[in-house]
């Protein structure tokens, strides 16, 4: 009976191309060396065998999908947001396999590696993924959450998770959220503001992960200062094409600034800001005050007799006439 090469190697050398990983470091080493099979302890509850599968470049979209509960927003994954791994992937291929589970239709659901998956799609490269059977939803969520440590989630993605915790009643308020998530209340507030923004507003940017709290707070203020109809008009503009692709600038930071300026201009055209008058300055308290704006001067005079009023008018005419 024919035996596999790996089995023959095991008999001859007492070693199979198989790794049992008990720590994160061991799993990472095995993944980097692309062992054919990895036995991995999942959530400390079960040891699962993952086999290495190579999905042809042209089949990545049809044969794989991303776990629905993955915290990472897939619509944010574009060539600029993935630039940190795309260059290496185009040059040398995928260095670290993703992790997934088999579905009933023999397709693969990616639990860890949605960024690598999209990078392979964009770069037209084969996709490497360790796949296992019998991964339940709880273990799938564990693997997906642990994976997000590789690349920090955006404020929007963190905010979505925080809002879900509030909705489920896991925490009472933002103060408790900050303690559970081990971050400041200001960051919690910013993340929740980001999560409340419609996707088209955030998709206008090249890399949502690069949007800091000041930009998020500004966008939240701009968008929610509009009426429902005005919001719809703004979203219609944003829905025409990815705004960042229309900007004549280079680099994520510069494009991000330009996109923010365009959105501010659009918001201003929909609802012009009401400019407040500067407060008047008292010249003689209770009787004379004035306002100066550019080369304009307005004076407010009270308790004026006819003689005083005429004298002042005569002075102005002699001075400016």
Task: Work out the pLDDT band at 8, boundaries 50, 70, 90.
Answer: very low
Give the Cα separation of 75 and 199 in Å (integer).
Answer: 9
pTM above 0.85, yes or no: no
Lowest mean pLDDT among 41-45, 64-68, 147-151, 243-247: 147-151
Query: Tokens for 53?
Result: 């599968």
Dump pLDDT digits (tens) for 193-220.
Answer: 999 999 999 999 999 988 999 999 999 9
Question: What local confidence, expressed as pLDDT, does residue 47 receive?
Answer: 79
Name, in order, each residue with C-beta under 8 angstroms of 216's C-beta and a sequence gap of 6 or more. Answer: 155, 156, 190, 193, 194, 197
| H or E element, residue 24 | helix 24-32
Q: 144 and 158 in contact (C-beta within 8 Å)?
A: no
Give the Cα separation of 294 and 306 in Å (integer).
Answer: 30
Backbone angles phi, psi at 288, to 5 degrees: -135, 125
Residue 128: DSSP 8-state = E
Dump pLDDT digits (tens) for 267-313.
Answer: 999 988 777 667 888 888 888 888 887 788 888 888 888 888 888 88
- Partners of residue 288 on adjacent β-strands: 284, 301
Q: What is the mean pLDDT of residues 256-272?
A: 93
Task: Work out the pLDDT band at 175, boundaries 50, 70, 90.
Answer: very high
* Residue 270 DSSP SS3: helix
Residue 7 predicted with pLDDT over 50:
no
Three-state SS sequence of 159-217 = HHHHHHHHHHCCCCCHHHHHHHHCCCHHHHHHHHHHHHCCHHHHHCCCCHHHCCHHHHH
Question: What local confidence, expressed as pLDDT, does residue 61 receive?
Answer: 96
Give the Cα separation of 314 and 321 in Å (integer).
Answer: 10
- Mean pLDDT (the chain) is 84
- The proportion of the chain whose per-residue pLDDT surpasses 70, expressed as a percent, equals 85
Q: What is the mean pLDDT of residues 241-261?
A: 90
């Amino acid at each position: 009976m024919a035996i596999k090469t790996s089995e023959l190697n095991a008999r001859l050398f007492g070693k199979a191309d198989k790794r049992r990983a008990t720590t994160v470091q061991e799993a990472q080493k095995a993944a980097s060396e692309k062992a054919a099979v990895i036995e991995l302890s999942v959530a400390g509850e079960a040891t699962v065998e993952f086999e290495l599968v190579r999905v042809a470049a042209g089949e990545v979209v049809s044969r794989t999908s991303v776990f629905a509960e993955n915290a990472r927003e897939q619509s944010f994954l574009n060539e600029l947001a993935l630039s940190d791994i795309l260059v290496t992937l185009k040059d040398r291929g995928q260095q670290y396999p993703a992790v997934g589970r088999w579905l009933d239709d023999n397709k693969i659901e990616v639990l860890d590696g949605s960024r690598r998956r999209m990078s392979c799609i964009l770069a037209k490269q084969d996709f490497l993924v360790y796949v296992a059977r019998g991964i339940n939803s709880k273990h799938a969520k564990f693997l997906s959450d642990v994976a997000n440590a590789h690349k920090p989630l955006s404020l929007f993605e963190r905010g979505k998770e925080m809002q879900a915790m509030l909705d489920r009643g896991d925490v009472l308020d933002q103060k408790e959220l900050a303690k559970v998530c081990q971050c400041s209340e200001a960051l919690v507030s910013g993340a929740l503001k980001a999560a409340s923004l419609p996707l088209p507003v955030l998709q206008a940017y090249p890399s949502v992960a690069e949007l800091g709290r000041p930009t998020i707070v500004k966008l939240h203020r701009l968008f929610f200062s509009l009426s429902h109809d005005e919001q719809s008009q703004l979203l219609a503009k944003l829905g025409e094409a990815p705004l960042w692709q229309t900007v004549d600038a280079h680099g994520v930071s510069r494009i991000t600034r330009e996109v923010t300026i365009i959105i501010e201009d659009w918001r201003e055209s929909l609802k012009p800001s009401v400019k407040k008058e500067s407060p008047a300055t008292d010249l003689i308290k209770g009787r004379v005050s004035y306002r100066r704006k550019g080369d304009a001067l307005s004076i407010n005079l009270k308790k004026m007799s006819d003689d005083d009023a005429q004298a002042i008018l005569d002075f102005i005419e002699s001075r400016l006439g």
